Chains A and B, each alone.
Chain A
Amino acid sequence: MNFKLKDIVPQLITVIAVVLIFGFFTYNAQINMENRGIDFGYGFLSQESSFDVQFSLIEYDGSHSYFRAYLVGLLNTILVSVIGIIIATILGVVVGVARLSPNYLINKFAAFYVEFFRNIPLLLQIFFWYFAALRALPLPQDAEAMFGVFFLTIKGLYVPAFIWENFNIFFYSIVAAIIAIILIRAHAKKVQANQGKQIPVFLISLGLIFALPILSFLIGGVRLSFEIPVLKQLATTSFIYEGGVSLPPELIALTLSLSLYTATFIAECVRAGIQGVGKGQKEAAASIGLTPNQVLKLVIMPQALRIIIPPTTNQYLNLTKNSSLAAAIAYPDLVLVFAGTALMQTGKAIEIVSITMFTYLTLSISISILMNWYNKRIAIQEK
């Protein structure tokens, strides 16, 4: 045996110390809970929750279990995070590129946007969008229709609902289009490698993704009709819209504030990424005859992305965790529904807070794994 004792001992001591500290806290909590007559257990998850939630992606009411209420909150958190990440990314890339624009007005406007929104606390922005901007919205009966079918009111955004016939055929046509695009791309790559010929993949893809679904309407028997929201009177001065889909103002305010806030940070990541690619790279690419588009796509972006992705991952994580501020404006996310109402009704503080923490941990780690995988894919492949 050749291991050195002095290498093992410190590690062993550390492990023992960590175990002891955790053990002490667990024991302490147990004793204190016992003294105060508080039971510990996860059995409550299957009990009837007996409270309703304003907005849910799955079927839920108070007759369902606490576990179902947990799922409702989790899905709402994921919903607002995913929408927020998509909008923040698009906006962040646009603003980041705009900050490098030679156009003075665009450049300064982008800079102003970044400095303004990233320097105001997020909670304040959420309150602003919810309370200040919401108050300015009209009551349902005063709302003007946008394009004749959208109604933006203080009680939410009402949009027409899609009513499909033969939706599955429409869906298959899109899947077919995507598969065709992937095949064509592979083929184009091969052709370019073998014969040096360029195939306009982008235009063909665009055509496919529109043509196939349209064909499904023409010959596949797919029908689409809309259910337009209709004003309904509840009392002399209280109205709502019926039919269609309603998006609660809480969701809109939260998504808006989260994406506007996070987009500023992503914009800075994008700017840093593009500026981090040496000027010589661009000039060298241009000198071998690549078009400006190809320079961006084949030379600048692959290198810039390596700089952009890791800090942007952080921003995605921040956005997901910041979505827990939803509790302030009544958006029923995981914290409001589960760590709020459910915790109050059951009194199972330790159980519920630990489940909630574990859930956020899982969400964040999933995002990290996904982004790290993508980062690895675009990283320099050492040969």
Chain B
Amino acid sequence: MFKYLKQLTSLVAMVAVLFTFTTESMAAKKSKTLKNTQKKGFVRCGVSQGLPGFSNADAAGNWTGVDVDVCRAVAAAVLGDANKVKFTPLSAKERFTALTSGEIDILSRNTTWTLSRDADIGLTFVGVNFYDGQGFMVRKSSGITSTSQFKNGISACTNIGTTTELNMRDFFNSKGISYEPVAFEKADEVVAAYDAGRCDTYTTDKSGLAAQRTKMKNPDEHIVLPETISKEPLGPVVRQGDAVWEDIVRWSLNTMIEAEEYGITSANADSMKTSDNPAIKRLVGAEGELGAAFGLDNDWSLRIIKQVGNYGESYKRNIADTGILPDRGPNQLWTKGGILYVPPAR
């Protein structure tokens, strides 16, 4: 009988070990990305090579922008500190490979959500943090005030590897206008070439046009034409196959938008814990166990609001106050006439 004691004890030990692992955190165990992020101590985030308002580094290397804030929110949620983000600047061409190859864990780089990208290449879009559309910029002196004045032979500068190239073709084809596409790899080179007079028009997302205009030699000499030729819902992207990580990023963004809806700001978040509204109390972690579903503590959303702010604060700080797009347009809450509408956090 004692012969089997040794085997028995090791079996018990094994079961015990298994049990502790399962109780520790199902979510953390299921999400390799979350586990790796917590082990490394920083969130690996892919951003643009410099687009004011969205992701732009200052001289000291500090990144700001609404896209940057999504990554900072995730860092606040999973690591407790919004500053624990490692930003990797990527060109439009490099961005998806960097994400699918595992070099970064979130791609927050003014990226348009399309069917083929979502379904085809191993990516998952988690939401929309900016509703945009493609437009055209021209020199004021050209006298052009509408795309209907475009004529055969017009040259258009743009970026490669973006939906812009495809929309541009659709647009000019439908109008029956022959055009010369001049496509660069980096946005700075597009701007430089357009500014030098290489192209008659510069086309990209309208937010991008507004942001790049601020980089021109003489911003006042250029105007963005009123027409919008496409839908460009921009949002953060994660690798396919890690559902928990996907949820964390999705709900970090949703938390920022919903916080604005309920009037919770970075300044008043702590005092909101005593609010009468259960929806508010859930968002600041005073009620419910929402974080447990991701393997996070219950203050995850409170940290996002306190350290990064709600969506409105982020927009004002990065896009409105910098003079890029003072008018929020469609990027206003649904309660205020915009189309920002997120599922409830409960």
**A residues engaging B (CB < 8 A)?**
33, 35-39, 50-54, 61-62, 131, 134-135, 139, 154-155, 232, 234-238, 240, 242, 248-250, 327-330, 332, 336, 340-341, 343-347, 349
Expressed in whole angstroms, the minimum distance between the Cβ of B325 and any Cβ of chain A is: 26
Given contacts A36-B241, A340-B185, 13 further A-B contacts (CB under 8 A): A36-B122, A36-B239, A52-B181, A62-B169, A134-B193, A154-B198, A237-B143, A248-B182, A328-B185, A341-B161, A344-B96, A346-B121, A347-B120
Residues 263-310 of B contacting A (Cβ, < 8 Å):
none
> Which of B143, B157, B169, B186 interacts with A51 by CB under 8 Å?
B169
Q: How many residues of B contact A (CB 8 A)?
A: 49
B12 within 8 A of A: no
Q: Which residues of the other chain, B, contact A52 by a CB distance below 8 angstroms? A: 165, 168-169, 179, 181
Q: Which residues of the other chain, A, contact B189 by a CB distance below 8 angstroms? A: 131, 328-330
> Which of A131, A232, A250 interacts with B196 by CB under 8 Å?
A131
In the complex, A240→B169 CA distance in Å?
A: 20
Q: A38-B100, A234-B154 are in contact. Are A54 and B181 (CB under 8 A)?
A: yes
Q: Is B142 within 8 A of A36, CB to CB? A: no
In the complex, A175→B302 CA distance in Å?
A: 83
Q: Is B142 within 8 A of A235, CB to CB? A: yes
Q: List 5 A-B contacts (CB under 8 A).
A: A35-B241, A50-B169, A54-B181, A329-B189, A345-B165
Q: Which residues of the other chain, B, contact A37 by a CB distance below 8 angstroms? A: 122, 240-241
Q: Is A336 within 8 A of B121, CB to CB? A: no
**B residues engaging A (CB < 8 A)?**
92-93, 96-97, 100, 116-117, 120-122, 138-139, 141-144, 149-151, 153-155, 157, 160-162, 165-166, 168-169, 173, 179-186, 189, 192-193, 196-198, 200, 239-241
Expressed in whole angstroms, the minimum distance between the Cβ of B145 and any Cβ of chain A is: 10
> Which of A35, A155, A249, A336 interacts with B185 by CB under 8 Å?
A336
Q: Which 9 A-B pairs rank lowest in CB-CB distance, beginning with the nearest?
A: A347-B121, A344-B161, A236-B143, A36-B122, A235-B142, A38-B122, A237-B141, A238-B200, A135-B196
Expressed in whole angstroms, the minimum distance between the Cβ of A350 and any Cβ of chain B is: 10
Q: Is A336 within 8 A of B166, CB to CB? A: no
Q: Which residues of the other chain, B, contact A242 by a CB distance below 8 angstroms? A: 153
Expressed in whole angstroms, the minimum distance between the Cβ of A275 and any Cβ of chain B is: 42
Q: Which residues of the other chain, A, contact B122 by a CB distance below 8 angstroms? A: 33, 36-38, 347
In the complex, A165→B138 CA distance in Å?
A: 42
